[in-house]
Amino acid sequence: MDFTGERYLPKVGGSIRYEHLHRYALCLPFAEKKDVLDIACGEGYGSAALAQIANTVTGVDIDEPTVVQARRTYQQYSNLSFLTGSCEAIPLPDSSVDLVVSFETIEHHAHHTEMLNEIKRVLRPAGVLIISSPNRTVYSEARQYQNPFHVKELDYGELYNLLSGYFKQLNFYSQEVVACSLVTRLKKLAVTTLPVYGESFQPIYPQLSQPVYYVVVCSDIEITQTAESIYLEGDNLVEQLKQEWQGKLPVTRQEPIVVLEQVPTITESEDESVSRAALWWDTQLSIEEGGRAHCGFHPAVQAQLTKIRDGLSLSEWVVKRFNKNSPVNRAISLGSGTGDFEFELLAANLAQHVDMYEVSQARIEKNRERLREAKLEQKATFFASDMNKLQLNPNSYDVAIFMASLHHVFELEQVLKEVYKGLVPGGMLFAYEYIGPDRFAFPATHTFPARAFYRTLEPGFRSGHADLPLPDPQEVAYEDPTEAVHSAAIVEALYKIFDRVEVISIPQTISMIIWPGLNMEAIFESAEGYALMEEILAFDEAMVNAGVVPAYHAYLAAWKEA
């Protein structure tokens, strides 16, 4: 059986393993000497775990081949059986089980009342239901993410209202994979209660106020047992993730945990911020020409992007993939910056004319000179303009271009609505964008693997820092008031305003976080530096694919309905 992301398999490691196995482990005290139903049991690993302590266990799954495989895999348990059925029509008699466990189930369908009716039917009067559910507020809404296998997710209020209609007692628990330092005796002692400390150096209760998952224990009688627990395997989760990166373990897909952090507010007016940003970008022009301003300039990163584009240049790829190989009649570039992409379009006759909007006068003059030298000046019109005040005539452009500029827009939705108005029917917005946390306020769950990797680097590849330097959001806003002002909202805004959206993720998260701590000379000017950058990108891709971190960058395409 292959892992597709819909049903977990015990051979798969990483954070997803901890989440799934922990849920079954916490059920063991409830299952001892009881008749248990594991509804939507999948591969059957959890049913088999419970069978070691329960009286009987019945695993039910809707997929017949999965059930057949489970019977074959766990045939050694005489008290374990597997049946084909659904949560809306459980193939068991009334009042036949003491415990129902339902993990990774309720979010995969919309028939919640039918499912709860069936669970109540098969439970005995003093029976217990233990159910998990992703917290939609954190799991999906905070990241503008949609799991393709989830049909109807619930937030806390919706889950509480649903379950309280069927059970008198509800004990809610939070579940999340977190990083911690563990200190235990080498030899086991009788005492098993461990104090938990936080940054205040005082004992704390490790409460998760905004968890990724809820686990709820439900019954009509008083619930005396607790599900509070820690799941720990002999090996280290961080080491498992490192092995995934090295290819020693299969890479899994599990959604990342996102910690929302407050971003500092800019007190100056938007006009003042934009004016100051224009001066700042004027000064950055000479730095960018050196080719080391950010990780995107590194040859290994460029090779990664070219691979994503099937070996094509960016302009060729955009026209072929998104514009049906049709040359662009008239395009608008908003925040044209270095103008590389626009130059490519014009030089290859893939666009007849581009209107280039840019707030930095120095960049406008640089791009004008470049086009003049290539005898392409007549194919471009330049506007020294603030994008936040954009006003376009309706149905004027075939394509609107944002090259790492959309995350600098204050009035995000207003600008996108104006772009939508200015596009012809069937017109497209294309962007290469940073879509990570606003103001580079990277949460600890994202910086942890980057810092762990950084500590393994030889001193010659570091920029003199013992630990990885991280950006201060206040300093980011002070240097460039427009930097990543609403970056995390870009994808959601596109889906809200445009008729069709396509997002192609680019795994440049760890590499972006690590970049300020690298020795640029060593990274750019040696074969070892190139090889290290390839390793960082491979680690980056593994972390994104495993769901440890989200992709901070993406190619974005959005269309106006024809």
| The two domains 15-177+212-234 and 270-526+549-559 share their CATH topology (first three levels equal) | yes
Q: What CATH superfamily is the domain 15-177+212-234?
A: Vaccinia Virus protein VP39 (3.40.50.150)
- With 80 as the cut, is the pLDDT of residue 299 above it? yes
User: What are the strands, taking DSSP E only, across 370-438?
Assistant: 380-384, 397-403, 423-434
Closest CA relative to residue 449, chosen from 383, 389, 509: 509
CATH topology of domain 270-526+549-559: Rossmann fold (3.40.50)
Closest CA relative to residue 504, chosen from 458, 435, 409: 435
pLDDT at 261: 34
Q: Give the integer Cα–Cα distance in Å for 50 and 27.
A: 8
0.75 cut: is pTM over it? no
- Average pLDDT over the chain, rounded to an integer: 83
For the chain, the structural domain boundaries read 15-177+212-234, 270-526+549-559
Higher-confidence residue: 538 or 238?
A: 538
pLDDT at 270: 62
pLDDT at 4: 44
pLDDT at 14: 55
- With 70 as the cut, is the pLDDT of residue 144 above it? yes
pLDDT at 312: 94
**Strongest mean pLDDT among 285-299, 318-332, 335-349, 403-417:** 403-417
Q: How confident is the model at residue 42 (pLDDT cuts 50, 70, 90)?
A: confident
pLDDT at 16: 65
Report, as an integer, the average pLDDT of 129-155: 83
Convert the pLDDT of each residue in 123-138 to its tens digit: 999 999 999 998 888 7
- With 90 as the cut, is the pLDDT of residue 547 above it? no
Alpha-carbon radius of gyration of the chain: 27
Please report, rounded to a whole number, the percentage of residues in the chain having pLDDT higher than 70. Answer: 80
Q: How confident is the model at residue 501 (pLDDT cuts 50, 70, 90)?
A: very high
Segment holding 278, helix H or strand E = helix 270-289
Q: How confident is the model at residue 186 (pLDDT cuts 50, 70, 90)?
A: low
Higher-confidence residue: 55 or 72?
A: 55
Least confident of 165-174, 241-250, 443-452, 505-514: 241-250
Residue 238 neighbours by CB under 8 Å, 6+ apart: 179, 449, 452
pLDDT at 471: 87
Q: Give the integer Cα–Cα distance in Å for 119 and 114.
A: 9
Q: How confident is the model at residue 81 (pLDDT cuts 50, 70, 90)?
A: very high
Q: How confident is the model at residue 438 (pLDDT cuts 50, 70, 90)?
A: very high
Convert the pLDDT of each residue in 215-274 to its tens digit: 999 999 988 888 877 766 655 555 555 554 455 444 443 333 333 333 334 345 666 566
Least confident of 35-39, 150-154, 320-324, 424-428: 320-324
